[in-house]
């Protein structure tokens, strides 16, 4: 190759590299390097035994543990606790160790001196070290019980150069409970409510941690819902592993309006000088003659009687199957007509319904046929009036929300 060619090649190479660097600089976003806060850095731990290589030759250390698990029983939400595990080297060689990353930031492991003081070096917590034969270290595990959890288990791993125990997991286990526990928790659903008889639901308010408490008041404004309580059967409390508790009965009169019904309940309680409130919701549904209970291929909101098809290509259209539950009708359900008569949306009602308790279920096909784009969202949803042969519900209004693009 001639000197000219070599020089030209070099110049072109440099130009190419510069161009690529320049394009790379402006042509694509640079990765944003996350700013790491000191706590995160301080909490860096090793994740695998690869970060603690074995010595090339023995004698090796051997780890002896007094316990691997600590069961703390039942504690209150918000409590903190700690426990000391001991790791002893009963081998002939030095045992090296490194702290691993705990399974949760609510749990911290620290190496401590025999008197319980955290060991530090240059102001940083000691995370690794060596244990001479016959010596031991203490590992202080602290944990915070932030939320209710029946099966709390967190682990602080420690990696070692014991060939038989390269990774040791110190586990903290137990249950974290609220002082007061409602059973069933959350929403109390009356389900299908009777039109003639009161609906009654009962459950328990109990405590696994309080020896005693009292329900002092249940403020009620709505007379349709009544709450009563009485001390719970001790045998039942024992079954729930509770120390104290009440049987709580909620009853609702049969004349709640047709449709969905919800009512908040607050149980005001006291234990010693401490006042506590337990809030929950009760509710149910008084069924009408025709109801929609869900859809496949679309979604249905019972509260707003609205069928959501979402966004789809206008050229392909969209279909859904909607479950109509029909009561108190002799014979089969028939769709007589739809208003407006020129509605784009088509309904196909099966000739026969499936038995569904004392009712019948009809899986009605609802189709938005292929056609022009149209947007019927929110307040512009298509409102359809379905006219059935049901004497108790000759008309059924349904909103259909969609965007055919």
Partner 1 sequence: MIYTTVKWNVRSFALIISFSILFSGCKPSAVAPLKPPGNAAVPGKSADETNNSNPAALPTPESVLDSGPKTAVRPYLDGWDKPAIAFLLTGEQHGYLEPCGCSETQSGGMARRADLVRIVTQEKGWELVGLDVGGTLKRSRRQDQIKFEKLFEGFQKLHYSAVGVGLEELKLGADFILTRMPGSPEDLANSVALVSANVVLFDQPDLGWPLRYRLIEKSGLKIGVTSVFGPSLRDRVAPAGVNTNITLREPDEVLPDVIKSLEESKPDLMVLLCHGNEQEALNLAKAYPQFRIVLAAGGYDEPDGKPIPVGKSWVLNVGHKGKRVGILGFYPDNADQPFRFELIQLDKDRFKNHPEMRELMKQYQQQLQDEGIAVSEELLLKHSSGQTFVGAEKCGGCHTKAFAHWKETGHGVAFTTLKEGPWHENRAAEKIDWIQRQFDPECLSCHITGWHPQEMLRYESGYVDEKSSAHLLGQQCENCHGPGSTHVSREENSTNMDELLEGRQMVRRTLADAKKSMCIECHDSDNSPKFTPERFDEFWKQVAHPFKD
Tell me which residues in 50-109 interact with partner 1 (CB under 8 A): 50-51, 78, 80, 103-106, 108
Q: In DSSP terms, which residues pair with 227 in a beta bridge?
A: 250
Q: Based on CB atoms, which residue is closest to partner 1, 51 or 334? A: 51
Q: Based on CB atoms, which residue is closest to partner 1, 113 or 301? A: 301
Answer for which of 140, 180, 250, 256 binds partner 1 (CB under 8 A) is: 250
CB of 139 to partner 1, least distance (A): 17
Q: What CA–CA distance (Å, rounded) separates 318 from 312? A: 7
- Both structure tokens of 171: 């586990």
Interface positions, 258-277, toward partner 1 (CB under 8 A):
262, 264, 266, 277
- Among 48-56, 127-135, 367-375, 386-394, the segment contacting partner 1 (CB under 8 A): 48-56
CB of 136 to partner 1, least distance (A): 24
- Both structure tokens of 363: 């899986």
Interface positions, 370-399, toward partner 1 (CB under 8 A):
377-378
CB of 52 to partner 1, least distance (A): 10
Q: What CA–CA distance (Å, rounded) separates 305 from 26? A: 52
CB-based contact 318:371 (threshold 8 Å): no
Quote the DSSP letter at residue 213.
-
256 φ, ψ to 5°? -70, 150
Answer for which of 270, 299, 305, 389 binds partner 1 (CB under 8 A) is: 299
- Both structure tokens of 310: 């979402």
Interface positions, 339-358, toward partner 1 (CB under 8 A):
355-357
Question: Is 296 near partner 1 (CB under 8 A)?
Answer: yes
Answer for which of 53, 123, 186, 257 binds partner 1 (CB under 8 A) is: 186
Taken in order 155, 160, 163, 166, is the CA torsion positive or negative?
Answer: positive
Q: Which of 194, 171, 388, 178 is nearest to 287 (CA)?
A: 194
CB of 167 to partner 1, least distance (A): 11
Residue for token pair 């009620």: 220
Taken in order 283, 288, 294, 298, is the CA torsion positive or negative?
Answer: negative
CB of 92 to partner 1, least distance (A): 29
Q: Based on CB atoms, which residue is closest to partner 1, 138 or 287? A: 287
Interface positions, 305-324, toward partner 1 (CB under 8 A):
306, 308, 310, 321, 323
CB of 270 to partner 1, least distance (A): 14
Using CB under 8 A as the binding criterion, the count of chain residues that bind partner 1 stands at 99
CB-based contact 70:83 (threshold 8 Å): yes
Interface positions, 132-161, toward partner 1 (CB under 8 A):
144, 146-147, 149, 151-155
Q: What CA–CA distance (Å, rounded) separates 22 from 11? A: 16
Strand order across the 63-65 sheet: 63-65, 80-89, 136-144, 107-112
CB of 324 to partner 1, least distance (A): 11
Q: Cα 142–143–145 angle (5° rounding)?
A: 155
Interface positions, 5-44, toward partner 1 (CB under 8 A):
5, 8-9, 12-13, 16-17, 19-21, 23-24, 27-28, 31-37, 39-41, 44
Taken in order 376, 379, 381, 384, is the CA torsion positive or negative?
Answer: negative
Question: Is 173 near partner 1 (CB under 8 A)?
Answer: yes
CB of 59 to partner 1, least distance (A): 27
């Amino acid at each position: 190759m001639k000197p000219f060619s070599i020089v030209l090649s070099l110049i072109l190479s440099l130009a190419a590299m510069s161009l690529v660097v320049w394009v790379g600089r402006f042509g694509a976003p640079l990765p944003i390097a996350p700013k790491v806060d000191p706590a995160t850095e301080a909490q860096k731990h090793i994740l695998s035994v690869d970060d603690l290589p074995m010595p090339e030759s023995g004698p090796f250390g051997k780890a002896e543990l007094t316990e691997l698990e600590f069961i703390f029983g039942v504690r209150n939400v918000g409590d903190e606790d700690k426990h000391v595990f001991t790791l002893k080297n009963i081998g002939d060689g030095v045992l090296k160790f490194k702290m691993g990353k705990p399974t949760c930031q609510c749990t911290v492991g620290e190496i401590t001196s025999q008197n319980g003081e955290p060991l530090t070096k240059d102001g940083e917590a000691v995370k690794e070290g060596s244990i001479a034969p016959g010596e031991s270290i203490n590992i202080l595990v602290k944990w915070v019980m932030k939320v209710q959890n029946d099966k709390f288990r967190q682990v602080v791993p420690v990696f070692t150069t014991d060939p038989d125990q390269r990774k040791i997991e110190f586990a903290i286990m137990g249950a974290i409970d609220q002082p007061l526990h409602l059973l069933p928790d959350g929403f109390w659903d009356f389900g299908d409510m009777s039109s003639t008889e009161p609906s009654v639901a009962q459950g328990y308010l109990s405590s696994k941690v309080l020896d005693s408490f009292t329900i002092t008041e249940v403020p009620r404004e709505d007379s349709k819902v009544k709450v009563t309580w009485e001390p719970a059967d001790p045998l039942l409390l024992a079954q729930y592993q509770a120390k104290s508790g009440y049987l709580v009965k909620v009853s609702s009169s049969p004349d709640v309006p047709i449709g969905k019904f919800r009512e908040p309940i607050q149980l005001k309680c006291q234990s010693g000088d401490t006042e506590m409130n337990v809030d929950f919701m009760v509710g149910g549904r008084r069924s009408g003659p025709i109801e929609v209970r869900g859809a496949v291929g679309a979604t249905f909101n019972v509260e707003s009687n609205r069928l959501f098809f979402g966004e789809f290509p206008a050229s392909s259209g969209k279909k859904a199957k909607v479950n109509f539950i029909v009561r108190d009708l002799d014979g089969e359900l028939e769709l007589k007509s739809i208003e407006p008569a020129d509605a784009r949306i088509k309904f196909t009602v099966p000739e026969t319904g499936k038995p569904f308790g004392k009712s019948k279920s009809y899986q009605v096909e609802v189709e938005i046929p292929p056609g022009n784009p149209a947007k019927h969202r929110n307040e512009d949803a298509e409102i359809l009036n379905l006219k059935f042969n049901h004497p108790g519900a000759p008309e059924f209004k349904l909103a259909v929300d969609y965007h055919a693009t």
